A and B are shown apart, each in its own frame.
Chain A
Amino acid sequence: MTEPTPLAPPRRAALAPAAPTHLSADVVARARQLIGLYPEPRSALIPLCHLAQEQDGWLTPEAMVDIAGLVGVTPSEVLGTASFYDMLHTEPVGRYVVAVCTNIACLLGGAGELLEHAEDSLGIGAGGTTPDGTVTLEEAECLADCDRAPCVQVNHRYVGAQSPESFDRLIDELRSGARDADIPPHGTLIRVHRANGLAVDPDVVVEERRAAAEAKAAREAAAAPATGGGA
């Protein structure tokens, strides 16, 4: 690269509620609906990251800029939050993220051997993606399906306990599109959307928050010693 790196835009510009440029109009509309469900916009940050992954398959820098504008934080704050969570991928992943749990119950059920087989069979290590971009293999922590060990999820959908043989069949089915109906591409997490907005006037919650704050201040004033020291 011979071109000089462009200077980062001033921080003020990042804070300004810029219009989304990367997320589609449909995604932005759904994002605004989600933001409207929370008393404070930032609470929608993680749901919006899921939405962005639904559009792009992973959490792109451009999407994070849009999300920042939508919820009123800086893009670095979006990255700062997103990088904490296993499900938010700030680098591209395959169309199918195949998670093999190796935690204690699955370990006892042969998960170590299954993961080894998966690595050999796919020709990648855990954390890697097949060259054709189809499958990303993950070694997962407990996925709460321990009576079907070793537990495997594809794009966060349970596919039941897997043997090495059934695992290979599963991958074949994914590649051929035979599982498309029950397993959407990576990023699409929730296909059932909220049918309605809030029923309770948000002002009611604002008033409740104010009342709680006043009650707390009154309790603290009452609890303060009459001859309190200090300033």
Chain B
Amino acid sequence: MAITDPPKIVTSRIGYDDSHTLERYLATGGYEGLRKALAMTPEAVAAEVDAASLLGRGGAGFPAGRKWSMLRKAPVTYLVVNGDESEPATFKDHLLVERDPHQLVEGVVIAAFALQVSQVFIFLRGEFALGLERVQAALNDAYAHGAVGRDIFGSGFSVDVVVHPGAGAYICGEETALLESLEGKRGFPRIKPPFFPAAIGLYGDPTVVNNVETMSNLPWIVRNGGAAFAALGGGRSTGTRLFALAGHVHNPGVYELEMVTTTFDDLINAPVLGGGIPHGRGLKAFIPGGVSAPWFGPDQLDLPLGQDEVAEAGSMLGSGSVVVMDDHTCAVRAAWRITKFFSRESCGQCTPCREGSGWLERIMDRIERGEGREADLDLLLDACDNIAPGLTWPPQQTTICVLGSSIPSSISSAITMFRDEFLVHIKEGGCPYD
């Protein structure tokens, strides 16, 4: 068993019933990282985050320190926290905002200090009604405690933090769509370049956008030093990471695991983690990093939970969600549902995504219903190829944002891994699992 016992960096308080309160937070080291940061220079705080090699936890995995350094060359106006967590089967930020909102607030103020910004917006998906209330309550308490607002802890540094509710749109997790939404508009991703909101962000001003989990790591990193964080994990994947395990396992849930030293097999099958597949069934496939990621089969169980390791194997760690499908799962139905999701959530700006996702969904639907044709398999792959030419990994992009290029993953995975299953649907005129 390769599971070590790493420090709980972002989930240390989750076991307490009152983990969301200021009292519990202060009793467990809360706001000590912020006090330490405020006694340092902003550059020194940023240097610790650089030293930690903290990769952004939103899905793209871009180093947070490098994102910040682009901004430190020029004045930054806004920090925006991305809590729009909507990637299917991803529910780690849900845990963090509901169960440890002060940790998020502390991380946000540390980041604001390092970047020297005086206004922060925490964008939370609107469906997090409890999370919105918990973060607002934490902010109210933190203002009263002197941890947010004017002259924080007597340091002379001041920042305002505002919670902003979204209104239900997957695309707003894309950072430029999020900014449009925060400006009171439809969540339409912006044309790139610029590739980062560093240049043109909120209201056109320089802005840094970071994920909730990324921010939540900062109090620990400042308290313990970037080197202590970088000592965990391996390669580019340092520290611990939250993995959201869902689907056919005994113990679905969010697990904080050390990167790289833990494998998918550990996560899915270890008794203290996923606990294996119920009903004595076998593993058919798993999706390693959100539904935008190509699927893996049992052969890839031994892969480590590391960003580069998963990328080299042809998929991605993405948002840290792992979906397990047992051998009674219909691959066609699973891929159809994922495609339907993309079709519903396409913002509609780009033709390949808007039209492609709709046609793919209809073709997948007719195959699942037993009305497909054998030629549909080539048709599906051809349509996928029009969205992401070559069907390579990482995918080629024909659209403004990566929602489009994410669409083909599930279909091409399902056809590649389970072609026979499609043919059975077509030849027998129905789903063999019904």
Contact = CB atoms under 8 A, between A and B. Distances in A.
Interface of A: 37-40, 42-47, 49-50, 71, 73, 80-82, 84-88, 102-105, 107-109, 141-147, 149, 153, 155-158, 189-196, 198-200, 204-205, 208-209, 211-213, 215-216, 219
A70 B162 CA distance: 19
17 contacts: A42-B184, A42-B185, A47-B164, A85-B126, A85-B167, A87-B168, A103-B88, A104-B334, A107-B333, A108-B247, A108-B248, A108-B334, A141-B344, A144-B90, A145-B94, A158-B130, A192-B137
A157 B77 contact: no
B184 A46 contact: yes
Given A192-B134, A196-B140, 12 more contacts: A45-B184, A50-B126, A88-B167, A88-B168, A104-B337, A141-B170, A143-B127, A147-B244, A190-B132, A190-B133, A196-B149, A205-B119
Given A46-B184, A144-B91, A199 B158 contact: yes
A88 B126 CA distance: 10
A176 B193 CA distance: 55
B329 interface: yes
A46 B133 contact: no
Interface in B369-399: none
Contact of A81 (B132, B186, B199, B247): B186
Contacts of B127: 87, 143-144, 153, 156
Contacts of A213: 205
Given A50-B126, A212-B76, A212-B77, A194 B136 contact: yes
B397 to A, nearest CB: 23
Contacts of A189: 126, 129, 132, 165
A199 B160 contact: yes
A146 B252 contact: yes
A123 B89 CA distance: 29
A69 B249 CA distance: 52
Nearest to B334: A104
Nearest to B169: A85
B184 A81 contact: yes
A147 B118 contact: no
B347 to A, nearest CB: 8
Contacts of A157: 129-130
B74 A212 contact: yes
A149 B252 CA distance: 9
Nearest to B410: A104
B125 interface: yes
**In this complex, which of B129, B169, B181 has the most chain A Cβ atoms within 10 angstroms of its Cβ?**
B129
Given A146-B246, A146-B252, A191-B133, A50 B165 contact: yes
A189 B183 CA distance: 20
Nearest to A88: B167
Contacts of B164: 43, 46-47
Contact of A193 (B117, B136, B325, B334): B136
B160 A103 contact: no
B259 to A, nearest CB: 21
Nearest to B94: A144
Contacts of B246: 105, 108, 146-147, 149
A194 B139 CA distance: 8
Nearest to A183: B129
B258 interface: no
A39 B119 contact: yes
Contacts of B206: 212, 216
A155 B126 CA distance: 11
A198 B244 CA distance: 36
Interface in B72-102: 74-77, 85-91, 93-94
A138 to B, nearest CB: 10
Nearest to A197: B160
Contacts of B245: 147
B359 interface: no
A198 B139 CA distance: 12
